[in-house]
Amino acid sequence: MIDAIRSLGRWGLSVFERLGRGHLFLFDTLKGVPELFLRFSLVTQQLFSVGVLSVFLILISGLFVGMVLGLQGYNTLVDFGAEESLGVMVSLSLVRELGPVVCALLFAGRAGSALTAEIGLMKSTEQLSGMEMMAVDPMRRVIAPRFLAGFISMPLLAALFSAVGIFGGFLVGHGLLGVDDGAFWSQMQVKTDWYDDVLNGVIKSIVFGFVVTWIALFEGYDATPTSEGVGRATTRTVVHSAFAILGLDFMLTALMFGEE
């Protein structure tokens, strides 16, 4: 019994310790961000590996998610004779929810885990330590550019995801199921609000990008420097990111759309 309480206490302390380290880590990272604008080529390189390499996955997934939405939405709406609203349904689902959330989950799996593995490997092969001894601060040289790249990439990827998804919904709705294309687009335009829907979706994706990149980099930086430790850290990145994304999504949704 005593042992159980003690281990619970130890677990609690370690959680707080990690939480504290994570925030100090974030603080150190953000300190390194401003000077990156003087050396943007560092960020460009990371935009390539974080952003560009994720584009293909995001586009394909977005297209299919949109197509599924088109099919499912049509089947539901047609019972009410409201299939003209298919465009609204697809665009609101994507822009408000699925775009930012699904894209962030995919981003955590594709780019987040890669970042953790990369940083963890750099740590275990003493590359980070080596940089420190060369008087190059790895927080500024390695971590900060990746952070900024993730932060910039995520909203762009989410926007691509939503745009492609809406196109996928249109392909299925108009091409396959014969919904009038004029009604599809015009209803969508009337009911989708720039501020309430699109901009809030973009804000969500910015928040998710921030959090996922932070988690991924911290897990890598904090990993036990062995191959096993890096593997575990990579798993943790995906799991913790998923929790963070879904939890934050609930809070943000309640904040943004709750008052209507």
Partner 1 sequence: MPLIKIRDLHFYRGNRAIFEGVNIDIYQGKITAIMGPSGTGKTTLLRLIGGQLRPDRGTIEVDGQNVHKLSHSDLYALRKRMGMLFQSGALLTDLTVFDNVAFPLREHTKLPESMIHDLVLMKLQSVGLRNARDLMPSELSGGMARRVALARAVTLDPMMIMYDEPFTGQDPISMGTLVNLIHRMNDAMDLTSVIVSHDVAETAEIADYIYLLSAGKVIEKGSPVQLKRSSSQWVQQFMQGLPDGPVPFHYPGDTLEDDLFSQKVST
Partner 2 sequence: MQNKSTEITVGMFVAAGIAAIFVLALKVSNLAEFNDEVGYKVVAEFENIGGLKVRSAVTMAGVRVGRVESIILNAETYNADVTINLYGNYDMIPVDTAASIYTAGLLGEQYIGLEAGAEDEFLQDGDVIDLTQPALVLEQVIGKFLFSKAEGDD
- Figure out which of the listed residues 12, 34, 130, 175 binds partner 1, where binding follows CB under 8 A: 130
Query: Could you say whether residue 163 binds partner 2 (CB under 8 A)?
Result: yes
- Figure out which of the listed residues 104, 114, 142, 188 binds partner 2, where binding follows CB under 8 A: 188
Q: Which two tokens stand for residue 91?
A: 């665009």
CB-based contacts of 200, cutoff 8 Å, min separation 6 = 96, 252, 256, 257
Query: Could you say whether residue 28 binds partner 1 (CB under 8 A)?
Result: no
**Start-to-end Cα distance in the chain:** 49
197 binds, among partner 2, partner 1, none (CB under 5 to 8 A by kind): partner 2
Packing angle, helices 2-32 and 144-170, rounded to 10:
90
Query: Could you say whether residue 129 binds partner 1 (CB under 8 A)?
Result: yes
Write b or e for each residue in 98-130: b if 16 or more Cβ atoms lie within 10 A of its Cβ, otherwise e: bbbbbbbbbbbbbbbbbbbbbbbbbbbeeebee
Distance, CA of 240 to CA of 104 (rounded, Å): 12
Candidate segments 103-111, 128-136, 159-167, 222-230, binder of partner 2 by CB under 8 A: 159-167
Residues of this chain that interact with partner 2 (CB under 8 A) are 41, 44-45, 47-48, 51-52, 55, 91, 95, 152-153, 155-157, 159-160, 162-164, 166, 185, 188-190, 192-194, 197-198, 201-202
Binding residues for partner 1 (CB under 8 A): 121-122, 125-127, 129-137, 141
